[in-house]
Amino acid sequence: MRIAYVGLILLGLVLCDGSFVQAGRQQKEPSATEQDDAERGRAVFNGKGVCYYCHGVDGHIDKRPQLNAGTAALIARLNPPPADLRNSNSLHLKNDKQRGKAIREGHPGTGMFPDTTMTDQDLANTLAYLALLRNQVAEDADKHRSNENAGRPSTGDSTRGEGLYTASCIVCHGSGAMGGLGPRLANNPVLSNEQTFWRIVYKGQHVMPPLKDAITEQQMADIQAWLKTLW
């Protein structure tokens, strides 16, 4: 009996593992019917499907319901641990066919058990809810990127940038940005990835200190502009 009970609890793993893959940015507005299905799916996710036992309320991994000590300990020992449904990089299933199969048949290599308690309509509603969540996660990521880029200079001055590089960066990255104590920056692919470039500049990496409070964004844009002339 206990094994069956534990299996029922772990059915929550089936519903959602791998269900978030980065959604395409071009999304149509959901119809009223789709909205209704998603809302019913949310009730399944946070109710009879016990998905939220392991993945948290509405997919927030750190917001699990209050569980008895034995169940909580069991979930804590799962290896691999339950997937974080709001971290698209950690999830792998690509489409609703794969997700539906994982729900019905379980997911090998994880603690997910086959779910025979959901009706076909419950399953369809849950998949609709997961699709809605994927859109929300994608929109939140877009907003975060927009906030990071707000106020950032759109262009830099390469002439000023060369002077700034010589004054500030040459000691580690070498003459002509060919490398030294720090990596070579000339022809470095990081220069074509705006997010990575500015993250390293702001937060530092390895022995490089964060520069957010050391130079202005315009000065950094000027240095970046000069580095791009070295390609």
Domain with residue 186: its CATH number is 1.10.760.10
| Structure-token pair, residue 21 | 């893959």
153 lies in some domain: no
% of the chain exceeding 70 in pLDDT? 77
Note the pLDDT of residue 21: 34
213 lies in some domain: yes
Domain identity same for 124 and 22: yes
Q: Write out pLDDT tens, residues 77-101.
A: 888 888 788 777 667 888 899 989 9
Domain identity same for 133 and 184: no
> Mean pLDDT throughout 153-161?
82
Chosen domain end from 118, 148, 178: 148
Domain identity same for 76 and 110: yes
Question: How many structural domains does the chain have?
Answer: 2
136 lies in some domain: yes
Chosen domain end from 115, 148, 181: 148
Domain identity same for 84 and 121: yes
Domain identity same for 134 and 222: no
Domain identity same for 166 and 127: no
Domain identity same for 121 and 174: no
Residue 182 above 70 pLDDT?
A: yes
36/215 Cα distance (integer angstroms): 51
Q: Is the overall model pTM greater than 0.95, yes or no? A: no
Note the pLDDT of residue 36: 57
Alpha helices in 1-83 (DSSP H): 2-16, 32-45, 51-55, 69-76
Q: Write out pLDDT tens, residues 23-75.
A: 333 444 445 455 559 999 999 999 987 889 988 899 888 889 999 999 989 88
In whole angstroms, how far apart are CA 186 and each of 58, 197, 199, 220? 45, 13, 18, 16
Note the pLDDT of residue 135: 79
